[in-house]
Structure 1
Amino acid sequence: MKLRLVLILYMTSGIINQVMCQVPSSINPSLLKGAWPALWITSPGAAQREYGVYHFRKTFVLSQNLPKSFLIHVTADNRYRLFINGKPICSGPARGDLFNWFYETVDIAPYLTEGENTIAALVWNMGTLAPVAQISNQTAFVLQGNTAVEQIVNTDASWKVKKSKAYTPCSLDNAERLKAYMVVGPGDQVDGNQYPWDWELPEYNDASWNAAEEITHPEPEGYGTDNRWTLAPRNIPLLEEHLLRFPLIRRTTGMKIDQKVLTGKKPVIIPANQNVSILIDQQFITAGYPELIVSKGKGARLKLTYAESLFDKKGNKGNRNEIDHKEINGNYDIFLLDGGNGRKFRPLWFRAYRYLQLDITTNDEPLILNDIYGMKTGYPLHMNAAFSCSDPSLKKIWESGWRTAQLCAGDMYYDTPYYEQLQYTGDSRIQALISLYTSGDDRLMRKAILDFYHSRTPEGLTQGRYPSNRLQIIPTFSLFWISMVHDYWMHRQDDVFIRQFLPAINEITAWFNARIDHKKKMLGPLTWWNFIDWDNFNDWGTAPGAANGNSSIITLQYAYTLNQSAELLRAFNHNLQADENEMLASDLNAHTYWYCYNAKRNLIADTPEQQTYSQHAGIWAILSGAVSLQEAQSIMKKMLEDKSIGQVTFFYRFYLTQALKKAEMGDLYYDGLEPWRNMLKLGLTTFAEKPEPTRSDCHAWSASPDYDFLATICGIMPEAPGFSKVLIKPALGQLTEATGMMPIPSGKVIVKLKRKGPNGVQAELTLPEQVSGTFNWKGKIITLHGGKQIVTI
């Protein structure tokens, strides 16, 4: 179900603040039911699928009676930044695909004046250098007024356009230099001598610019016969931007630089013919647009390099706070100065960084460094939950996990903001649960579910990551997509949204069903990339038996997912199919247990040959119900003790925790937080992709403590679909006290726990008035009602 959105924006003190209101009636219905009067436009003579940056403008006149509302709908391929009378208004679009090309709806009335007004857009197409997350048709821009009053600004040949000669791509060898998979697109080299300064202002003279070339009329979803893009209203809020100053210069070479330059109140003069390097430390990883304001310095070259951490000569990171004998290596931008005053340089797209190094080479004219700062950006994911406990060290884990989750939330869930900015199902399931528990915001989760739904291939599987301009299929991640839909069903009430996915769920389970080895009643050979976890199995994290057949890990995950699909199907009255899925799950569990359980080792082997063992196999045996509670506890104990078997990394620790809870061993969760404590000891400010050595220092699947502190330690879980009933089943471990508060659809759940002796507890519990629930303390069950209550056991 698409949302129809109105985005109302306002500016204060030079900082862009973006606010979204859902007003379903505000989009003109005619724009949802047929071709738009406006036209997609482009730059004439330009290579439409190659790298290029373009300036679009239109000047129009308004009478004395300024409108109270002036709604426009705007989008571009690849991306745009919109200005009204020189003021930046919004950026977009949210990434989708050609069948779901999102557009933003904004009210620009607050920025309009009597008489002449100028609306302008910076549009860019990265061509073959585009990020892997970027799907594209050709360079294009469209802006549509909502009604006849606003259609004065519709894009057509009356718009002017200029292809920029200032921009060329740079930092093209990131993957080679960093020896890592990095696909976020190029850096920007901007030549100030070629840049049309003040082009977005009303007084700029665009007489020499070309008339825009008209392409075609836009078509909304469900309409059109020859669509190049099929438009859909943006279904998430705009990304925020906030001023974030750099706190500290860590190192300089060439000359001494006063720290006060970072305040913007004390410019620094760089002499002529000088080489100066300034290493700046944000002190935590962030995502933002670095903005640099300079004057004079004609012929100077400025290079901004961005990194999550510094590297020693061997390429190791070590403690992230330490800089001695380390250098920066990463993505960079280059600015070439024209000697003008107050020149502002900003990259087209945001950069992720903790460290930023500014390398300055001046020519014959001194340069004035007026200011350097960042405009922090990201999805408006706001903390609406709270957690505290008797161990104050968990506060730092909570804060770093939250920062990780925020940085990995943009126009979709990012696996890592620095290296990929791709949305993977395995990552997104965990990210979505963190979002629900910490913020209560489900919009990015809904978009992720829809994105993967739109990614399906003819085989029926979802793609492993999407949006993506390269095909990647991870069959296990298709199973995680079903789990993600199940999570949404349990945490939110929206039957219409869920029902549309049932056929796709059936297609995924049927794909696996067709590949069952009927002799062993386990999954046979599987195609594509059957990724499980890093640092185990082989260099690609592929499960043993995936290629040749009879992987216990994937078979048991399939059984787990079949049970979840059965619950969904039964909820929508597909009882016969639900029964079939449950029976198949039981059959797969029984045969996998028969072939892979080793009684002597008390472990589940990865394959029937029982040559290798892993925690992963035991986790899925427990979660799928392949073993009894008593067996689950015995297997879990052995899995935690035996370090010779394949160990989970940060990704699969989420599922290890789920298995602990299923085995009634949740109290061991607190003891398992050592990996996060170790990351903090290494100076990480966010949580890494995997144990050292790691590529990414910020990877959202590792932020699971921000979910588990509430869902495991405080024990807050949905007991019925839609969170219509609440289960509170705490697992304090060695903690003596814990307090948690989180939003659910009907209000807030508050849990205050205090141990009473070695086995007792006093709990102060508050549920929304209309919600009932259950309190479970070590098997002792108490029924809860809405409102506040105190329970002592």
Structure 2
Amino acid sequence: MMTVNWQAKWIWGEGEESPRNEWRCFRKTFDVPAAAEARSGAALRITADSRYVLYVNGTRLGRGPVRSWPFEQSYDTYEVSHLLKYGEENTIAVLVLHFGLSTFYYLRGRGGLLAELNDADGDVIVATDATWLTSRHLGQHPRAPRMSIQQAFSEYVDASAWDSSWKELDYNDAGWSNAIVLGSVGMAPWTTLKPRDIPMLTDETVYPVRVESLAKVRSFHVTTALDVRNALNDGSEEHANGILCTGFVVTSIRANCACSATLGFLQAGGCFRALSLNGEEISQDRIYGTTPERYVDVNLNEGDNLLVIDVSGSLHVGKLQFGIYGEESGELSFASPLEQLADHSASTFFRIGPFDAVITIDHQSARELNWEYPVYMKLLGALKRPEDLERFVDWLSPIDPKYVSEVDVFALSVWRKENVKFAVPAQLQNAIIPNNEAGLVPLFEGYDTEVLFDLGKEYSGYLSFEVEAEAGTVLDWYGFEYMSGEYRQDTFDLDHTLRYVCHEGRQVYETPIRRGFRYLALTVRGATRPVRIYGVTFIQSNYPMAEVGRFECSDTLLNDIWEISRHTTKLCMEDTFVDCPAYEQTFWVGDSRNEALVSNYLYGVQDILKRCLRLVPGSRHQSPLYVNQVPSGWSSVIPNWTFFWAIACAEYYEQTGDEAFAVEMYDHIRFTMEHYLLKIDESGLFNVKGWNLLDWSPIDQPNDGIVTHQNMFLVQTLRVAAQMGRIAKEEESAARFEEAAIRLAHRINECLWSEEKSAYIDCIHTDGRRSDSLSIQTQVVASLTGVVQGERKQIIDAYLVQPPEHFVQIGSPFMSFFYYEALAKLGEVRLILDDIRHHYGTMIRHGATTCWEQYPNFLENRANPDMLTRSHCHAWSSAPAYFLGREVLGVRSLRTGWTEVEIAPVPSGLTWARGSVPHPAGGRIDVSWTADESSKTIQLNVSYPEGMIARIRLPEGYTGSIMETKLGIL
């Protein structure tokens, strides 16, 4: 790695080291000598904690940095010669978004910015120091709700409180203060800086395809969202682990007059166990709706009404969202129940407790909650008046307002007391047509106006819009993935909202927060004159790659399925592979193994996978077994995900032939595998407490005990470790892993096979009880990993070809990937295609433009028949793009680095197919064929890069011709 002699200093502003959800702006104006114009090569290096948006002379240049461990902080380098004004003043402006807490893609550090501009000779032109000016972004509300436990914050911006020209050279920065120097490069927590190891992500402008609907709506009169998890558990910002706790939230509802009202609790989960109002416990039979929406009708007194909410339970998301609707209430608000006390008057919400709190790791807690804690048991009915709170003063404390959102835009967007639709005027469609006249949003007296945009398919990136409005007009934006007819699948565990308060006149706003969605609801509130929309755009942002892979065949359904698989994979390639662009945006280690194989057949890019694989061992400070998503504040281990990471390391070597990388990764594979072997118990089987997951289905896969599929994948991983050890010339450790694999496979066949049932059982529980259930998943893994041999293999393979009805069936497209791998080994390509048509065809019939996380109505979504899946865009589900290229086109690598490739299509009832597969060394392999099923003849055309050995063969039982073309290479 090149050593950089940084002159820049880490800087920040006054206040907290790690403030919650703070946007901080930095500026530096400087001269560039006129003599420098003759030479290009000026380079700006920059990084920040947590994220930045960079502007040079008012032009947005980039966003970053890529996700990284704080002890290996990544920095970006931009060539900026074309943006500089030589012999004149120039301005660098940076917006830094500091999260102030850990997420699933960020570990809490502290606020900081580091930047340095060098000329072509490497001399410093300008670098961050105490002369830079800084100000908190005064228009950004830091109390916006969390998006989710996986992500940071939603967005609330008041454009009337902040001049958007702060990025420009001629901006008046009076009132800004000088930055504070934190220290030099190498300071904690950023002890090491590493250059960005992938290209900058793309900016692709996308426009909505139509205005889907127009409606006048009414929602709650007052809303809020409380971060109960952080408010009740001090220090929980440092991690993203789950919490079990008992405790209460207390506030007063202030009403101008006595009235009836509806209290609505959205995304209740563990944050809504029970409640009382003015000392009356609300019985469960008065609460209607189903989780995540629960409602209760109450009578409010004039003045203050004491509301006590039991928020005890499992708090991972830990967000309490609720609203109040009162038809005749006049003004409603939340008020402090203790405002007569000066030190408590600033807080409208209080906590009582927690009486008992336990942090959970790996889905395991050290003990159960004490639900019989005396104070907890008697409190709900004991609080009738505010003065009763004094009896619990030892447990009572104000909730810091930073945990209490001023408004919950999500609740306002999804709950509508009234929703009256109108035909969409043709003139309003102008809002989505570039360079056209403005679309006019109509107003309805006494109502808000909702305009719903459809992007045509899901995208992942950054929302931008241009409007003309009066000052104070509120634009509430809410993105979601799926709707069908009148049904909207609202994202109750994800808040993709943006509240934008307009300044007077015409204005443009581009959000710095990444979101993924297809549908975008805009609700206009508080306007007295119509809002003009001059444009709504979306900036699709992903890893840059050419779409080399192609597939088309005689079955149009398979073509549609290939396309949604391709688009899904693209959206889930950010600065790492991610599971989904909406709900989590998280690099799940196990998911990425399958995503990488799909990407190999679509794009052929390797840098993104290499950085993914390198990130994983950084989690060894959390667990020597490596955690299941990185870099993350959730210390959670799924053993299979670690196994898939090691397997992906070997597959990367097979794909590229990068021996140096294989040697580098072997040190890390050896480290974690040695710790995994310590979990082999006295029975000779792998036995671990963890999240022992493979599929979203009712497999008997307890989080403590001997899980069969994990033992089998460990066998395969030990063999991979031996393979990688031999590449690294570590023969002794390689032999040790090989021997361990043999021993473990032997014990699996001795202990986990049921002669009575002629199948492998799912598990052995900690009490020694053998699983009663059988699953197709366990049999798939047995076949795929080669653990099963001989006569047993014939039995197992028959199950794969025709899964018995009494076996637990596959519940996710992720598990289907392994099933298809096993079927491919058996030569059952027709079965793969039939299964793809069945499951993915269901997605297509429901209008899918991306691949779903789950199959319909499975487990999590069974309660709601309209909810077909949780996430509608999930790259662990993109298997068809891999198998259609590998099996139908027949392109398969036979030797490391694809130096030798088999091209052997399998028609499987198709009459023709054509497509391309990227070659990892450059170029592509093109295949087209036409087959006649009745005469068993085929014409096959193939072209490929010169230097690659092609083993071309016709399908078994077919005769025909082969046309072969070798393409020259530069």
Q: 1:4-36: per-residue Cα shift (whole Å, max 9, x none)?
A: xxxxxxxxxxxxxxxxxxxxxxxxx5xx155x1
The separation in 2 between residues aligned to 1:306 and 1:238, in whole angstroms, is 25
Which position in structure 2 is the counterpart of 1:644?
806
Q: State yes or no: 1:253 paired with 2:215.
A: yes
Confirm whether residue 116 of structure 1 aligns to residue 89 of structure 2.
Answer: yes
1:536 to 694, 698, 704: 698
Distance 1:600 1:532, change over 3 A: same
Please list, as runs of the form range in 1=range in 2, the aligned pairs for 1:84-95 lying within 5 A after superposition: 84-95=56-67
1:199-598 → structure 2 map (5 Å cutoff): 199-219=166-186, 228-254=190-216, 257=425, 258-264=428-434, 265-270=436-441, 275-309=448-482, 320-323=483-486, 330-339=495-504, 341-364=505-528, 366-457=530-621, 460-519=624-683, 521-523=684-686, 525-537=687-699, 543-544=701-702, 547-549=704-706, 551-598=707-754
Contact 1:756 1:762 in 2 (8 A): no
Tell me which of 148, 163, 167 is aligned to 1:196.
163
Question: C-alpha deviations, 1:516-570, integer Å up to 9, x for none?
Answer: 2344x332x21222211112226xxxx25x6233x32111111122222222222
- Structure 1 counterpart of 2:866: none
- Give the match for residue 145 of structure 1: 117
Three-state SS of the structure 1 residue aligned to 2:71 is: coil
- Output the CA distance in 2 between the equivalents of 1:585 and 1:730: 34
Task: Give the residue type in structure 2 aligned to 1:644.
Answer: H
Following superposition, the deviation at residue 41 of structure 1 comes to 1.0
- Which deviates more from structure 2 when the two are superposed, residues 648-657 or residues 557-566? 557-566
C-alpha distance in 2 between matches for 1:33 and 1:192: 39
Match of 1:59 among 29, 32, 37: 29
Q: Give me the whole-angstrom Cα distance separating, in 2, the residues matched to 1:125 and 1:788.
A: 55
For 1:740 and 1:633, the matched residues in 2 are separated by 34
Which amino acid in the other structure matches residue 917 of structure 2?
A: M
2:915 to 740, 750, 753: 740
Alignment of 1:653 with 2:623, yes or no, is no
Q: Distance in 2 between matches of 1:627 and 1:512?
A: 22
Read off the aligned partner of 1:637 and give its amino acid letter.
A
Q: Is the 8 A contact 1:589 1:626 kept in 2?
A: yes
Residue by residue over 1:466-507, the C-alpha shift from the partner in whole angstroms, topping out at 9 and shown as x without a partner, is: 011221211111111111101101100211111011122122
CA pair 700-718 structure 1, distance change in 2 beyond 3 A: same
Deviation per residue, 1:731-765 (Å, 9 max, x gap): 33222333232111333223333445566654333
Equivalent in the alignment of 2:944 = 767
TM-score by length of 1: 0.86
**Contact 1:135/1:468 (<8 A) preserved:** yes
Tell me the SS of whatever aligns to 2:645: helix
Counterparts of 2:9 and 2:489 in 1: how far apart (Å)? 52
In structure 1, C-alpha distance between the alignment counterparts of 2:951 and 2:439, rounded to whole Å: 63
Gap change, CA 1:628 and 1:371, over 3 Å in 2: same
Worse-matched range after superposition: 209-218 or 365-374: 365-374
SS in 2 for 1:145: strand
CA distance in 2, matches of 1:94, 1:547: 35
Aligned AA for 1:500?
E
The CA distance in 2 between the partners of 1:324 and 1:466, in whole Å, is 35
Q: Which amino acid aligns with 1:53?
A: W
Equivalent-residue separation in structure 1 for 2:634 and 2:506 (angstroms) = 41
Name the SS for the 1:463 alignment partner. coil
Contact 2:940/2:963 (8 A) holds in 1: no
Q: Is the 8 A contact 2:21 2:143 kept in 1?
A: no
Deviation at 1:324, TM superposition (A): 5.9
Could you list the runs of 5+ residues in structure 1 that have no partner in the other structure?
3-28, 176-181, 310-319
Q: Is the 8 A contact 1:160 1:209 kept in 2?
A: yes
Amino acid at match of 2:458: I
Is the Cα contact below 8 Å between 2:622 and 2:635 reproduced in 1? no
Are the aligned partners of 1:170 and 1:332 in contact in 2 as well (CA < 8 Å)?
no
Offset of residue 76 of structure 1: 0.8
Task: After superposition, give the CA deviation of every residue in 1:336-373 in whole Å (9 maximum; x if it has no partner).
Answer: 1221x322223221221111010001344554333222
Report the AA paired with residue 504 of structure 1.
Answer: H
| TM-aligned CA distance change 1:300 to 1:547, over 3 Å | same
Worse-superposed segment, 139-148 or 37-46? 139-148
**How much does 1:68 deviate?**
2.0
Relative distance call for 1:629 and 1:771 in structure 2 (3 A) is farther
With over 3 angstroms needed to count, the CA separation of the structure-2 counterparts of 1:368 and 1:596, relative to structure 1, is: same
Comparing 249-258 with 293-302, which one deviates more in the overlay? 249-258
Q: Retained in 2: the 8 A contact 1:144–1:155?
A: yes
Aligned partners of 1:731 and 1:585: how far apart in 2? 34
1:688 positional shift: 1.0
Computed over aligned residues only, the root mean square deviation of the Cα atoms, in angstroms, reads 2.8
Aligned partners of 2:733 and 2:164: how far apart in 1? 64
Give the CA deviation at 1:107: 0.9
3-state SS of the aligned residue for 1:291? strand
The answer to whether the Cα contact below 8 Å between 2:25 and 2:95 also exists between their aligned partners in 1 is yes
Q: CA deviation at 1:689?
A: 0.9
Is the contact between residue 381 and residue 435 of structure 1 (CA under 8 Å) also seen in structure 2?
no
Match among 135, 149, 173 for residue 162 of structure 1: 135
What is the percentage of aligned positions where both structures have the same residue? Answer: 24
Tell me if structure 2 keeps the 8 A contact 1:603–1:638.
no
Q: CA deviation at 1:135?
A: 2.2
The 2-side partners of 1:126 and 1:365 are apart by 36
Residue number among 866, 881, 884 corresponding to 1:706 in the alignment: 881
Larger radius of gyration: 2
In the alignment, what sits opposite 1:681? 845
Structure 2 unpaired stretches of 5+: 217-421, 765-769, 862-868
| CA offset digits 1:359-403 (Å, max 9, x no partner) | 001344554333222222222133111112221221111110111
**CA separation in 2, counterparts of 1:84 and 1:173?**
30
TM-superposition CA deviations, 1:37-72 (whole Å, max 9, x none): 111111123553332111111111223332422111
Please tell me the residue identity of whatever aligns with 1:395: N
Equivalent position amino acid for 1:515 in 2: K
SS of residue in 2 equivalent to 1:563: helix
> In structure 2, the residue corresponding to 1:455 is in which secondary structure?
helix
TM-score by length of 2: 0.71
Q: Is the 8 A contact 2:653 2:661 kept in 1?
A: no
> CA offset at residue 629 of structure 1?
6.9
Checking the alignment, whether the CA contact within 8 Å between 1:602 and 1:638 is kept in structure 2 is no
